[in-house]
Structure 1
């Protein structure tokens, strides 16, 4: 049998940093009795098999009500569909209602989740080997993976207490340009960043758009968690604030509607003129890449999502308020349990941030929180978590953990934090753990323990 040497494969396949998602998922399989804070899986207690047929039928009824003939509907459901999707109209209406993003349907591309949207956007925006992607750091591992698969260099911009600093972005863009390369785009999650949970303040959002225009940057705004803010605390998206056409918006239905549908979307309303002078949206132009990656997204999955949107009058924000309450209850349970086991004033060397929503929080500990420590925690203490170093693009996070609480019930969260506390208490401290920048406004309290 033929045998490949690792050096004969693409570097992205042999790069150990590309193994993060597999390692975390396999930890759960290897230690099935461990309570897992290592993933950001969505809550799955609200799924009902009957909904699959209900929402599919609802979308088919919607098409009939619009006057689409049954022969056409049958073909749409059973055959290959349009490359950029069936439900562009429904998604455009949802964006207008939920986010104040007013774009035509032809500016929307339906994708296989965030990951395909990121691959397509990067492939379109980064045209030269000298193009560089800037990214918030720490960052979701999927963006580094997408850039690595496409051989696009990525430069991390370390976030501060209030998320990504626009001036740090400008500085990074100028540094890349001074090296003779072009900073093509910037990736970030302004609302409840994965992994740190930070939220970019409104003034910083406006300033970041100014920086993008001044530095000729496009922004890839990833927003999987924005619907899950506390009531009255939702922030306007960068895309809704963008008046210069600098933002490409990447969304997903995995967290808000139906993870198994594997559907997301790319919003790119920028105009592109071809050699004949014909002007189309960037989303339409990028359909060439979409066709080569996946031909088109599942029409049945789109029918289910389309039915959900139609049934709820394209108002997914209102339709997910009960789900948002579930996540906020779990966040509060995690914060309360941490405060109980690591009270202010005690000599435990533990700190954490206090996100206002999302799926994650960051915990700082007085020892190296690496994969070996995580495996020992899962094996001997029955609790797993994710090393924050996995998410840093330029090094860092060695003494931090990411805790994902989204798919654990409050009682399991409390038990998991109790197990984690025993692990932390039993792990020898390092004499000089080093200093790190906090990952959220509340990460650096005046006394040990939770931030005020």
Structure 2
């Protein structure tokens, strides 16, 4: 008798510890647990994710964007057979909308690179995996990273067996002096700091912004110490004109910065499309010269072969339609996020007046943009507490401890406000305030 798959699994189980360490590591499971909590408690208002605003999505636009890109290719004189093949067949490994992305980068970020320096990827996550795989050649190569950090970079490094050294950020983000100290510490262990990861604009999870002078010092440090900077910039597009700072990549004159971008927050989340900018020249043994992005195509070919043609066409159509000026095209969206940030800050101040901190023990930072802020509380804010909050108070959030690379954040939580209306934010903070008050009085260590 043939066994069913379930029976086969039951009869011959695979021991969990036999899997890769990145799969076994409980720290790699935090985002799944957050998602499952949201599904288990659908009535809970969720501050636990950084999902983009839903209000700009229109089904009628789905085919329009693709049609717009096809029309653009025809206007350029691309043969019909070539257009058909691009959309229906396997495409170039590094993608086919690099020219559109290059024009966007020049307009939006003052980043001037050739299309050949751009790789189209499956979102930020693949861009990070490709960059890490290409830049880290030895077990002694170490990734320096801002801490707290987006869990995706730690996860990518873990899956590739790349050691990570966290560098705790200050109130204004990652500090060059702290990076220099980390470089010295890594070298003292006989290892090589190969790259530095950071989100300089409205960092996830803390919302910090690295000042201009610090950006220049980080570039100088990279040149002196010989490491690459991995600049992740999903939120910088939404900075107001007064708050806007030049990206590290726009200040980079040596090719020391690999720029990791995504269209998930700005254009089309479901397209799952991003890009990697690697313009540094790579010289082969035969003297051939290619951009870093072209050289890294070998890694992308092994990960995903190529990015979705339809996703590329949709993003290409969006960029063409916007005149390659995504910053101007998203001004209304930026205003939505600013309104939601203000609503969150106002609601927190209403329920936890700063002048009464000694009574409630709750305080928070005040980002100038982005999708997140951090709230410090007088009790341990772990996944167990978050589930209790979602189940009993119908409000969820993300424990900050999951974002710290070397411990910390046990009494803090991250609030993501990007996909909640101001009314939902006010109700959610009211629910959160009841949870915090009850948790603070029922937890012995919170009152000691």
The TM-score, its normalising length taken from structure 2, stands at: 0.96
1:111–1:117 CA contact under 8 A, matched in 2 = yes
SS across alignment from 1:119? helix
Per-residue deviation, residues 11-54 of structure 1 (Å, max 9, x unmatched)? 10110000121011111101100000000001111101111111
Distance 1:278 1:225 in 2: 37
* Alpha-carbon shift at residue 428 of structure 1 (Å): 2.8
**Structure 2 stretches of 5 or more lacking a match?**
1-7
Bigger Cα displacement from structure 2, 339-348 vs 418-427: 339-348
Per-residue deviation, residues 331-390 of structure 1 (Å, max 9, x unmatched)? 000000001001122211100011010000000001111111111111111100000000
Distance 1:382 1:334 in 2: 17
Q: Which residue of 1 aligns with 2:40?
A: 30
Per-residue deviation, residues 120-149 of structure 1 (Å, max 9, x unmatched)? 000000000110000000000000000000
Q: Which residue of 2 aligns with 1:412?
A: 424
* Alpha-carbon shift at residue 6 of structure 1 (Å): 1.4
Distance 1:302 1:433 in 2: 51
Note the aligned Cα RMSD (angstroms). Answer: 1.1
- Paired residues for 1:9-408 under 5 Å: 9-346=19-356, 347-408=359-420
2:254–2:280 CA contact under 8 A, matched in 1 = no
Distance 2:402 2:17 in 1: 23
Distance 2:354 2:121 in 1: 46
1:230–1:328 CA contact under 8 A, matched in 2 = no
Task: Flag the 1:21–1:189 CA change in 2: closer, same or farther, 3 A.
Answer: same
* Alpha-carbon shift at residue 232 of structure 1 (Å): 2.0
Distance 2:101 2:74 in 1: 18
SS across alignment from 1:428? helix
The number of equivalent residue pairs is: 434
Distance 2:360 2:39 in 1: 31
Distance 2:88 2:140 in 1: 43
2:389–2:396 CA contact under 8 A, matched in 1 = yes
SS across alignment from 1:255? coil
SS across alignment from 2:354? coil
Distance 1:239 1:433 in 2: 44
Q: Which residue of 1 aligns with 2:439?
A: 427
Task: Flag the 1:432–1:165 CA change in 2: closer, same or farther, 3 A.
Answer: farther
* Alpha-carbon shift at residue 230 of structure 1 (Å): 2.4
1:399–1:433 CA contact under 8 A, matched in 2 = no
Per-residue deviation, residues 232-267 of structure 1 (Å, max 9, x unmatched)? 211100000111221000000000000000000000
* Alpha-carbon shift at residue 427 of structure 1 (Å): 1.0
1:132–1:152 CA contact under 8 A, matched in 2 = yes
SS across alignment from 2:360? coil
Per-residue deviation, residues 250-302 of structure 1 (Å, max 9, x unmatched)? 00000000000000000000000111100000000000001110000001100
The structure whose residues are more often helix, as a share, is 2
- Deviation beyond 3 Å, 4+ runs, structure 1: 429-434
* Alpha-carbon shift at residue 432 of structure 1 (Å): 6.2
Distance 1:57 1:339 in 2: 48
* Alpha-carbon shift at residue 433 of structure 1 (Å): 6.6
Distance 2:238 2:445 in 1: 38
* Alpha-carbon shift at residue 212 of structure 1 (Å): 1.1
